[in-house]
A and B are shown apart, each in its own frame.
Chain A
Amino acid sequence: MIHNVPPAARAKSDIPFLFCLWVIGAVYVVLILAMLAADATFTSPGHLWDALKSPEIQYAIQLSLLSCTFTTILSLWVSVPIGYLMSHYQFPGKKWIDAVLDIPIVLPPLVIGLSLLILFQTRAGRWIESYVPVTYEIPSVILAQFMVACAFSVRAMGAAFGQLNPRREQVALTLGCSRAQAFWWVVLPETRRGLLTAGTLAWARSLGEFGPILVFAGATRMKTEVLPTTVFLELSVGNIEAAVAVSLLMVAAAMIVLVVVRLYGMEPSMGRFFHP
């Protein structure tokens, strides 16, 4: 015998709910694409070519690529040990240190630049400057980028280490590894995706960093000029076409990084580089 299911008990259609989700998501995606399309239609290949031929912009591209890469290496070098320690050990004052690590994320970028500028006017800062010129020189670009980028990298590595199964490291210890060997051969290969995420975040944040660089490194052409500085300088003299052309270069660089991460971030064989 077949019983009719009462209307109230019937499962309601999921379509309205899913439709709302799709609409909200689509609005944001369309907004991003519209922004990029507006940039692309504002300029022409000729403008882009002229921008690329300009020695100032060529210098800015070179300095940006160099400083971002150096900052990324530096950020990973610092964020891996911090992320590992913060996710594996309990110690007095851990919550305070955790809060301190977030300061560069919540501080306005201009304030970070100003704080760096003041730091290098202290006695210790001047002593460093007497050996290595920092303020308004290329090292100040890297330091300004590093202060912000590293904080994001630390968060990414902390999350990556926190998600690991600690039992694997423990098994490695019972198999004869020292703590350092277990870290290099078992823990680090497992965090390869976290490393890639942290590195990408650091690189992308460095590429877009402007406020701290403007205050701490200045905006001197052919000296401390990185791509965001170029956009600012070109805008300030009314050369909007060049500013947009440089912006599109930055968009292209960001897209390349994202595609590389999507393609290689999921590749398990990358872990083989770390094996004993």
Chain B
Amino acid sequence: MILIQDLSHRIGAFHLDGISLEIPTGRYAVLMGKTGSGKTTLLEILCGLKPVQSGRIFLMERDVTFLKPAHRGIGYVPQDGALFPSMTVHDHLAFALRVRKWDTAAIEKRVGELAGVLGITHLLGRRPHGLSGGEAQRAALGRALAFHPRILLLDEPLSALDEETRRDMYQLILSVRRQYNITALHVTHNWQEAITLGDCVFILKDGRIAPCGPHDIPASRNNMCGSPADYGTPPFSPVGPPLEKDR
């Protein structure tokens, strides 16, 4: 469960005011809003990368408001993947496990399993500069999932991908959800992405979460909170075959 209570953050003219939201365990929530509305800042505060000025954050019933990022147990996938240039994909998947001093056999087992789930077994020896955008995001997702986090935060992970790769990634994320029963908060500008992946949608507008029920299931655009202009990009018609979704 992700529970944010009355969270505020201010830097100069930018502000987040009284943010409160709750994402029950196992739910996949989507956060939308215009560029500069504070979506990334909210994720960084959840990760512990930016300090909380007021309010509380609970992750899986644990108050993590003042905990360091390392102790929050969050898997974080940033927009550009932020892969480490000197490491191979294998090193990325093993990174959090080596930090936690897992033994080599356990690391290799976990890396093999994860690479199989993400379809990147053939890429394990490659470095980031040899990966396509979709492959890089799979590696970034694998790195975030390797240590079995209960919470996953994704910051526009698919925004730089072409339509076909993005649809592949939808399937992958849905499959990962099914397999790991993870609680997730996914930031996006793309309402098709929100409809496809999300159980519930929050809109961040003017430094606040738009007043709407937090668990509305967006079966269509009309069921989502706020107006289309609040999502950040003009809506478009989904194309291609319907995607498999585990509801």
**Which among A170, A171, A173, A268 has the highest number of chain B CB atoms within 10 Å?**
A171
B68 cross-chain contacts in A, Cβ below 8 A: 173, 178
**Which of chain A's residues 34-49 have a Cβ closer than 8 Å to chain B?**
none
Contact surface of B with A, Cβ cutoff 8 Å: 44, 47-49, 68-70, 72, 74-76, 78, 80, 82-87, 91, 95-96, 98-100, 127, 129, 143-144, 147
Q: When the two chains form their complex, are residues A271 and B86 in contact, meaning their CB atoms are under 8 A apart? A: yes
Contact residue among A174, A175, A189, A270 (Cβ-Cβ distance under 8 Å from B49): A174
A176 cross-chain contacts in B, Cβ below 8 A: 70, 96, 99-100, 147
Q: When the two chains form their complex, are residues A171 and B76 in contact, meaning their CB atoms are under 8 A apart? A: yes
B143 cross-chain contacts in A, Cβ below 8 A: 171, 175
Residue of A nearest to B101 (CB): A276
Query: What are 27 A-to-B residue pairs whose CB atoms are below 8 Å?
Result: A165-B80, A167-B78, A168-B82, A168-B83, A168-B84, A170-B47, A170-B49, A171-B76, A171-B82, A172-B84, A173-B47, A173-B48, A173-B68, A174-B48, A174-B72, A174-B75, A175-B96, A175-B144, A176-B99, A177-B99, A190-B85, A272-B86, A274-B86, A275-B87, A275-B91, A276-B95, A276-B98
Query: Min CB distance, B64 to chain A, in Å?
Result: 12
Contact surface of A with B, Cβ cutoff 8 Å: 165, 167-168, 170-178, 181, 185-186, 189-190, 192, 268-272, 274-276
Query: Min CB distance, A270 to chain B, in Å?
Result: 8
Query: Min CB distance, A221 to chain B, in Å?
Result: 47
B87 cross-chain contacts in A, Cβ below 8 A: 271, 275
Q: When the two chains form their complex, are residues A173 and B69 in contact, meaning their CB atoms are under 8 A apart? A: yes
**Bound Cα distance from A225 to B194, whole angstroms:** 72
B48 cross-chain contacts in A, Cβ below 8 A: 173-174
Q: Do most interface residues of chain A lie in helix, strand or loop, or is the interface mixed? A: helix
Q: When the two chains form their complex, are residues B86 and A189 in contact, meaning their CB atoms are under 8 A apart? A: yes
Q: A173-B68, A270-B86 are in contact. List 11 more A-B contacts (CB 8 A).
A: A167-B80, A174-B72, A175-B70, A175-B95, A190-B84, A192-B86, A268-B86, A268-B129, A275-B86, A275-B87, A276-B99
A-B contact count (CB 8 A): 79
A177 cross-chain contacts in B, Cβ below 8 A: 70, 99
Residue of B nearest to A270 (CB): B86
Q: Which 5 A-B pairs have the closest CB atoms?
A: A271-B86, A167-B82, A173-B69, A175-B96, A276-B98
**Bound Cα distance from A63 to B70, whole angstroms:** 47
**Bound Cα distance from A167 to B140, whole angstroms:** 12
**Which among A168, A174, A177 has the highest number of chain B CB atoms within 10 Å?**
A174
**Which among A172, A178, A270 has the highest number of chain B CB atoms within 10 Å?**
A172
B86 cross-chain contacts in A, Cβ below 8 A: 189-190, 192, 268-272, 274-275
Query: Min CB distance, B241 to chain A, in Å?
Result: 34
B144 cross-chain contacts in A, Cβ below 8 A: 174-175
Query: Min CB distance, A167 to chain B, in Å?
Result: 4
Residue of B nearest to A274 (CB): B86
**Bound Cα distance from A271 to B49, whole angstroms:** 25
